[in-house]
Amino acid sequence: MLLFRETQNFSVRPSGFLVSSLIAACDRSGCMFGEGIQVHGFAIKVGLLYDVFVGSCLLHFYGAYKRVFDAQRIFEEMPERNVVSWTSLMFGYLDNGDFENVMYLYQEMRKEEISCNENTFATVIAASCSCCKICSVDNLKWGKGIHSLVIKLGLDSNVCTCNSLLGMYSEGGRLDDAEFVFKEMPERDLISWNSMMTCYVRGGRSLYVLKILNEMLQMKKVINYVTFMSALAACSNSVFIAEGKIVQALVILSGLHENLAVGNTTITMYAKSGTMVEAKKVFQMMPKRNLVTWNALIGGLAENEEPDEAVKAFQLMRENTISWNAIIAANAHHGLEEEVLKCIVKMKNAGIDLDQFSFSEGLAAAAKLAVLEEGQQLHCLAVKHGLDLDPFVTNAAMDMYGKCAEMDDMLRILPQPLNRSRLSWNILISAFARHGYFQKARDTFNEMLEMGLKPDHVTFVSLFSACSHGGLVDEGLTYYAAMSKEFNVPPGIKHYRTANSRTGSRCHEGVVPMMAPSDTTVPIVAITALRWLAGGPLAIEQWRNDTPIGSLPDNLISN
């Protein structure tokens, strides 16, 4: 990005290679979306938007940041497309879980007689693999057809393509086909070995899993936590308990015993083998726990006829959640948002289940601090736990995205009009007002009324803010008058401040007589707005007559 800024200082036109490299750097970073947008704008400015390499990099960039609709728009506008362009868009859809569009693009690509490369096939096979979970027969036939084409084109020796084929056959339960691909591979990487082990685990061939592990150890292949998870899963019965203990020893020697996923799999292995004493030891020694950890322990206790212990473990898990929620509530009440987020992290590390309250308070804290990354992580975790549709969590997530200026994400999770609470409408109006969408704020308010929901004082604060900053003085005063007359919402201090911040020219016509004399900050706002206007002195004199002596700041009036 330093190079990008230096480039802008010179009159020399940059090359497509340079701009492509800059976009790729923002893509790989994973946290430079804003910078990538700047480079995109720069590409438009210097006339490189339609460069095929720049366009392909932009497709991959937007897909990586879950902006697949933006990627699709760029793709449609590209005058020239190559195999990289098609594959980049396909990968974007794959990464966003839209497998049908991946297959559709592949078919369109074939119609236009564009040659596929190994990355194209790997992407399409991965999509077919994911679809096998939904409709294994049809999509597996489709995947086998792609496999035949891969062999025909001589790409069956590519490691990436073969790994995708292994995953597809594993998901489809085709163990023999997976074995054929694995044995025919001239070169294998760690993913290849792990994929074959996973396939054997799913097929119930525990001995074959252990043979592969032994082969990897003898060949001094690199082993990671996924390898050990498959080996431990293969030992999840009493027949292989001795081998399971050996695998656990290897895990400890490799330093992976503190890995959360490995710990959970170890507990499950001992639980399914009926060795709950060892399962409890692993549980006690784990530095971090999550919901899966507790479920593995409780499920193991129940399966091994220890119902009392299972109930105690469940109660302990719930008590921990309630205690933590009390601490979170206290911190939130005192405005300690950072402490709220720290508590959430500690709960996750301790393996304590987060509930609707935990998520909603955590998202509310992220909203107040405007920390998008932490808010996104919390929202993703809520989705993973199936709590994203809870109305409290949804509203908190909407508020967080709105306050972090992520309007697209906020609108994406917005409930349908019939399912929106008044709070949902208020958050939507507030977000539009905050980010300058004044007309949308008004339209949303009108839509809210059409749905039969009554606005409250929060609705009008947001509405006045939209009218004030948008220069919609007449509309603002109309809403102000209707607030108490039509909707029976008594004006409060916030309404006075918001209504008078930009409507000084009309204050003396109707707003000033309704001012609350008890709050001196309201006159300060109004006088500041009035003193530069022709009608200011008259309005101030009227105000002084209606306001108790001593409540107005004379030095401000004299100025």
Is the predicted pLDDT of residue 61 greater than 80, yes or no?
yes
Helix, strand or coil, per DSSP, at residue 553: coil
Phi, psi for residue 289 in degrees, rounded to 5: -140, 150
pTM to 2 decimal places: 0.58
Is the predicted pLDDT of residue 541 greater than 80, yes or no?
no
**What is the mean predicted confidence (pLDDT) over 493-507?**
51
**What is the mean predicted confidence (pLDDT) over 261-266?**
95
Query: What pLDDT, in 10s, does the model give residues 8-42?
Result: 555 556 677 778 888 888 866 556 777 788 888 88
pLDDT band at 5 (very low <50, low <70, confident <90, very high): low
The distance of Cα 497 from the centroid of its chain, to the nearest Å, equals 36
Which pLDDT value is given to residue 281? Answer: 94
Could you tell me which residues are beta bridge partners of residue 350? 289
Which pLDDT value is given to residue 511? Answer: 45
Could you tell me which residues are beta bridge partners of residue 289? 350
Helix, strand or coil, per DSSP, at residue 519: coil
Which pLDDT value is given to residue 549? Answer: 44
Is the predicted pLDDT of residue 502 greater than 70, yes or no?
no
Which pLDDT value is given to residue 522? Answer: 45
**What is the mean predicted confidence (pLDDT) over 471-483?**
78
- Which residue is listed with tokens 């804003």? 34
Lowest mean pLDDT among 56-60, 299-303, 544-548: 544-548
Is the predicted pLDDT of residue 509 greater than 50, yes or no?
no
Query: What pLDDT, in 10s, does the model give residues 331-340?
Result: 888 889 999 9
How much is the mean pLDDT over the chain? 81
CA–CA gap between residue 329 and residue 350 (Å, rounded): 19
Query: What pLDDT, in 10s, does the model give residues 201-241?
Result: 999 999 999 999 999 999 999 999 999 999 999 999 889 99
Lowest mean pLDDT among 190-194, 362-366, 419-423, 539-543: 539-543
Helix, strand or coil, per DSSP, at residue 100: helix
**Alpha-carbon radius of gyration of the chain:** 31
Cβ neighbours around 222 below 10 Å, total: 9
Is the predicted pLDDT of residue 304 greater than 50, yes or no?
yes
| Angle formed by the axes of helices 68-77 and 52-64, nearest 10° | 160
Which pLDDT value is given to residue 505? Answer: 43
Question: Which DSSP category does 416 fall into?
Answer: P
Question: Residue 526 contacts by C-beta under 8 Å, 6 or more apart in sequence?
Answer: 496, 500, 504, 507, 511, 512, 515, 539, 543
237: left (phi over 0), alpha (psi -120 to 50) or beta: beta
In sign, the C-alpha dihedral spanning 308, 314, 320, 326 is negative
Tokens of 542: 């009227």
Query: What pLDDT, in 10s, does the model give residues 414-437?
Result: 888 888 888 999 999 989 888 888
What is the CATH topology of the domain spanning 315-414? 1.25.40
CB 400 within 8 A of CB 363: yes
Report the length, in residues, of the chain: 559
**What is the mean predicted confidence (pLDDT) over 138-159?**
82
Measuring CA to CA, how many Å separate 148 from each of 141, 142, 143, 181, 556?
Answer: 11, 10, 9, 12, 84
Question: Which of residues 522 and 324 earns the better pLDDT score?
Answer: 324
Cβ neighbours around 463 below 10 Å, total: 30
Cβ neighbours around 303 below 10 Å, total: 13
Query: What pLDDT, in 10s, does the model give residues 82-133?
Result: 999 999 999 988 888 788 888 889 989 989 888 888 889 888 888 877 765 5
CB 476 within 8 A of CB 442: no
CA–CA gap between residue 81 and residue 389 (Å, rounded): 40
CB 198 within 8 A of CB 230: yes
Tokens of 177: 């086909």
Is the predicted pLDDT of residue 287 greater than 90, yes or no?
no
Tokens of 129: 């693999």
Phi, psi for residue 220 in degrees, rounded to 5: 55, 40
Question: Which of residues 295 and 218 earns the better pLDDT score?
Answer: 218
Which pLDDT value is given to residue 514? Answer: 45
Measuring CA to CA, how many Å separate 456 from each of 433, 447, 491, 514?
Answer: 16, 15, 10, 19
**What is the mean predicted confidence (pLDDT) over 377-391?**
89
In the chain, the amino acid numbered 114 is: I
Is the predicted pLDDT of residue 494 greater than 70, yes or no?
no
Lowest mean pLDDT among 121-135, 221-235, 279-293, 476-490: 121-135
Measuring CA to CA, how many Å separate 85 from each of 76, 149, 526?
Answer: 11, 21, 58
CB 146 within 8 A of CB 116: no
CA–CA gap between residue 519 and residue 542 (Å, rounded): 17
CB 95 within 8 A of CB 76: no
Which pLDDT value is given to residue 29? Answer: 59
Which pLDDT value is given to residue 48? Answer: 83
